[in-house]
Structure 1
């Protein structure tokens, strides 16, 4: 059996793309996954291009792999960086055997045997393609519900690497989830660049179905107990959607609401489609309908033209919403984006200082939130065995838990009491074990 080494950089969609690639390879001939690059027959680097750092890492990794790989091993570069650099990757690193863009995963079995093959068509339509079954974790499943993006955010390269938005047919989604549930998954994560824009664009005749209706249909699947999704767009967070989120018992009470900036004027420059006031209103609506829900977000500091007042608006939103989790970055100019050409770029030292201030305040907020969890009880779904006799899982609202236990806990939802808090996770004590 041949061996595969695959390195996945970037978002959950990239993780799912890697699973699809493994499934495609196994339909042609079986591969055994390895963590040792020197014994691999095939090396795949599944790349991200949202920021500059992962792109730089790609060529560094290629250099390392060239040093340690077997002479006969092939190297493939896939994902978003593959989409936007294409053949330039092979020009810079001729050792790369093939390049496969993020929109072309189904073509893997055709390019693997073609020296220096490049497939990066961002208009390719995989929306109705039924991928083979492969999941890294048997107890939960990631399921794509759309591909591409119909937005034109001025900082974001994704539309240029994943193409226009197309929704995956509803029946295909439901069928994939049923298969996952039949093989042990009790929790699924619905994936898309803007999941709550689902149903706006289909590439073939399809019964109309928006995201709220999709959630209802998915929740009717027997044996499925938990539904998560990422990422919804604040612009599409209507009351119907938020009411379904709050009232449907199968939907986990954890929601990601990407802010990007708290300044209405910067949001306009970013072409985000909403204001500071709309964003705060939507978060207040979530807290009103579902007080137990946790809210996470993304924030970019140092976007071109960001003033001290603009940054103060971002800090104000942080104070008002008190996000349970924050993914924050300095603005990184990306090729093929409008903002990269703006003349009012922010000096790095100013952006760095703002990021430090934002993260420091958020750390204080998280410490307060997590410390308040002491002695509280949660229903935790256990899905991963850890060293030293521990098992990990997540509560309905997304908190990471560790408890003493064995593989007997895997795939079970149990009541857990918090006995120790920390910033990133909670230690718990099992209160009752379902047999």
Structure 2
């Protein structure tokens, strides 16, 4: 099967090179599998029937696995499909076609993808698979007979969907340029822009499959990224997440570096912090030479004092086997320098338990490192051998030992109480979403500590001053004191309109759902791997945000109905009381009618008395 690019360049029939963004007629622009159109009649019932509807009128279900970069890709694909007229739905049964954006970081994600593909095939739904799995493992058996769009082909998703709906199998996997940043986008959260600053990486980790899919480092220009930041702020975005497989490696292929980009972005951010910047996952090797510059950016009032720096192991021998290109002492230098130079600095890290060759002594060094820093966020995962990687050929640690080490490290991490002492403090937070319990709103401090508050949905997208009322293991709880004006940072009194956080068991309250960090790294919220929710159509988006969780949604509705019923009863009682207290106000017509009724009654009474005599 040919890739579409083979048909577009040279003798592909399109008259030479095609200008970026130019959309050819479908017949010339999409490579069609010739075998798909020659199937025997007896097999026709086993494949999705070609759609006879007008392109752009069907319903699309999008499912996303993996990192924030994948989430951004899905939002771009959803935006293009929506702009072309397709309806986006979060209900797979109602959809005419499924689009699955895949992750190849860990086996569980790929297994979930394979289950979903099987379900789609059984439902005889047309299917398009995107993301790292088909890009890095294009010969996977589960992808036979399935249309594929590569990680750098997301700007061609409309054409792939059109041809797939017609019953054709299409594959786009080869590309020499990066997709444009100004494509239409449907964000999962309208207040958060996930901005990919580069694709691929410079590393060669022995366990990583993502490099096979995302490839070598390719960076967007500083100018294009700054223009995108300006554009999304004009759209009302309140948080910008810089995302990539390795943020720290940005620009080394085009003669710039991460501090240059950060300085350029910070220069266009509002100085009063109405829009916040979050710097994405950064491996130690590429920020060691820029620590002071990055610390200076992290101190800026419009930048979260938070950085995700994966260490993966506390043992230098294991790091060498992983080919991580740094030592434990270099990780310590990164952490110690940032903590010393940035007030309230919060660092998250990753650990892989049971990497091939890890001894009990190696693992003990990892435990000691985690105990030393007592970081509030540590993403712990067991080693999963990815096919085609060097680590998959290494001698494995027994699975029971891997599980035991994972449980032991998790217990150590969960014994920390990182937020103790915050009770009573007043913090500024930025509120962008609902918690998964469907009751609380989620805000973050400048150190990106999660704060759960209660309040109306209109508080989403605002910044507020809160008093911390209680702390849990994964979040803190606050009472909103004041909402800050976005225009000039003036404090506006909201006058106790917001109730105190009312979680009876703070540790049981849900964390916010966030995508996993990019590339080779793994992430979790409250120690559990998360899947990213699908982008949805604009018409369904507001209802989705207000009902993140069915039980939570019911609780919110029940609370509102109870309050409405109570208010109605009180109002009715007040009306009754007022009616009894008021004196009748008779107008002339009322008096005449009442007199007529009285005369009639007296006449009838007189007749009865007369007849009775």
Shift of 1:90: 5.6
Structure with bigger strand share is 1
- Which residue of 334, 345, 362 corresponds with 2:396? 345
TM-score by length of 2: 0.65
C-alpha spacing 1:153/1:388, structure 2 compared with 1 (3 Å):
closer
TM-aligned CA deviation for residue 420 of structure 1:
2.3
- Report how far residue 39 of structure 1 moved: 0.7
- 1:332 equivalent to 2:384? Answer yes
1:18 aligns with 2:74: yes
Q: Secondary structure at the match of 1:112?
A: helix
Deviates most, 227-236 or 29-38? 29-38
Residue 442 of structure 2 is aligned with which of 372, 392, 409?
A: 392
Matches within 5 A, 1:257-268: 257-268=309-320
Match of 1:42 among 77, 97, 116: 97
Per the TM alignment, residue 127 of structure 1 is displaced from its structure 2 partner at its CA by: 5.2
The 1-side partners of 2:249 and 2:369 are apart by 24
SS in 1 for 2:296: helix
CA distance in 1, matches of 2:217, 2:169: 29
Q: What whole-Å deviation, never above 9, does each CA across 1:343-364 have from its counterpart, x for those lacking one?
A: x211101111111111110001
Structure 1 partner of 2:172: 119
Answer with 1 or 2: which has the greater Rg. 2
* Paired residue total: 419
2 CA distance for matches of 1:340 and 1:245?
A: 39
Whether the aligned pair in 2 keeps the contact of 1:189 and 1:227 (CA below 8 Å) is yes
Q: Shift in Å at residue 118 of structure 1?
A: 1.6
The answer to whether the 8 A contact 1:106-1:126 is kept is no
Match of 2:410 among 335, 359, 377: 359
Of 296, 301, 307, the match for 1:255? 307
Query: Which whole-Å deviations, capped at 9, do the CAs of 1:379-416 have from their partners, x for residues lacking one?
Result: 11111246776422222211222212112212111111
Matched, 1:56 2:127: no
Cα deviations by residue, 1:75-107 (Å, 9 ceiling, x for unpaired): 111111111222535655x4x3x1122232222
Match of 1:251, SS state, is coil
Q: Is the 8 A contact 2:247 2:279 kept in 1?
A: yes
| Structure 2 counterparts to residues 4-403 of structure 1, below 5 A | 4-27=60-83, 29-67=84-122, 69=123, 73-89=125-141, 92=144, 94=145, 96=146, 98-114=147-163, 115-121=168-174, 124-126=176-178, 128=180, 130-202=182-254, 208-223=255-270, 225-238=275-288, 239-342=291-394, 344-365=395-416, 368-385=417-434, 390-403=440-453
Higher RCO (CA-CA < 8 Å; seq separation 6+): 2
* Aligned-partner Cα distance in 2 for 1:381–1:185: 12
Distance between the aligned counterparts of 1:90 and 1:326, measured in 2? Answer: 33
**8 Å contact kept, 1:199–1:209:** yes
CA deviation vs aligned residue, 1:235-255 (integer Å, no higher than 9, x gap): 122323433244322220111
C-alpha separation between the residues in 2 aligned to 1:278 and 1:433?
41
Match of 2:607 in 1: none
Q: What is the CA deviation profile of residues 16-63 of structure 1, one whole-angstrom value per residue up to 9, with x for unaligned ones? A: 110011122234x22332221111122111110111111111121122
Counterpart Cα distance in 1 of 2:99 and 2:285: 36
* Unaligned 5+ runs, structure 2: 1-56, 485-491, 493-613
Unaligned 5+ segments in structure 1 are 203-207
Take 1:18 and 1:372, find their aligned partners in 2: how far apart are those partners?
40
